[in-house]
């Protein structure tokens, strides 16, 4: 299965086999990182590694202080997506390198996902996201994965 290594702002935080973590293939799992502060340049830098096997399906950044900034939600799809709660997930952006899957993943079998459509595409390979946020704040980063 695919192993994903992640660093946030240059600090390693996880190295995980997604299917093992989720309890099997075709099962959604999330990783949540709280109280993350931006780097000195005002960006959150997420670096995914794992060769061609590293991947992510969607990511969400929530500010800890309401009213300072809107949440950032990214799906690895070409177009934005509205989830079952009415939240908008923007199309994949703020990335450098990696590739986005071209085919549609079989989402009807993704267990544990309130919004299986979030898992229909993924960015894979070695890639980074540099996401602009309000300086001085703390953020919760939620990463969505499903080994399909």
How high is the pLDDT of residue 52?
65
pTM: 0.89
Secondary structure of residue 112 in the 3-state scheme: coil
How high is the pLDDT of residue 50?
74
Pairing of strands 72-75, 88-91: parallel
Is residue 97's pLDDT more than 70? yes
Q: Provide the CB-side half-sphere exposure for 82 (13 A, CA).
A: 2
Which range, of 5-9, 46-50, 137-141, averages the lowest pLDDT?
A: 46-50
- What spatial distance separates the first Cα and last Cα of the chain, rounded to whole Å? 10
Tokens encoding 108: 């009807």
Closest CA to 59 of 128, 105, 9, 1: 128
Report the mean per-residue pLDDT for the chain: 86
Helix (H) or strand (E) holding 8: strand 3-8
Residues 62-77 pLDDT 10s = 998 777 789 999 999 8
> Distance between CA 28 and CA 146 in Å, rounded?
4
Closest CA to 48 of 147, 137, 127: 127
How high is the pLDDT of residue 116?
82
Between residues 45 and 121, which one has the greater pLDDT?
45
Number of other CB atoms surrounding residue 32 within 10 Å: 10
Between residues 116 and 52, which one has the greater pLDDT?
116
How high is the pLDDT of residue 95?
96
Residues 14-33 pLDDT 10s = 887 877 777 777 778 888 99
Is residue 132's pLDDT more than 70? yes
> Distance between CA 60 and CA 139 in Å, rounded?
10
């Amino acid at each position: 299965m695919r192993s994903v290594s992640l660093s946030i702002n240059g600090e390693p935080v996880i190295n995980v086999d997604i299917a093992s973590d989720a309890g099997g293939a075709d099962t959604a799992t999330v990783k949540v990182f709280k109280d993350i502060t931006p780097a000195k340049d005002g960006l959150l830098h997420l670096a995914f590694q794992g060769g061609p096997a590293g991947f992510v399906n969607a990511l969400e950044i929530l500010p800890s202080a309401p009213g300072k900034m809107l949440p950032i939600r990214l799906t690895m799809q070409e177009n934005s997506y509205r989830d079952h709660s009415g939240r908008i997930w923007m199309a994949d952006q703020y990335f450098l390198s990696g590739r986005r899957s071209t085919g549609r993943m079989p989402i009807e079998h993704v267990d544990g996902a309130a919004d299986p459509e979030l898992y229909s595409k993924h960015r894979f390979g070695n890639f980074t996201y540099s996401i602009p946020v309000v300086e001085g704040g703390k953020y919760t980063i939620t990463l969505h994965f499903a080994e399909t």
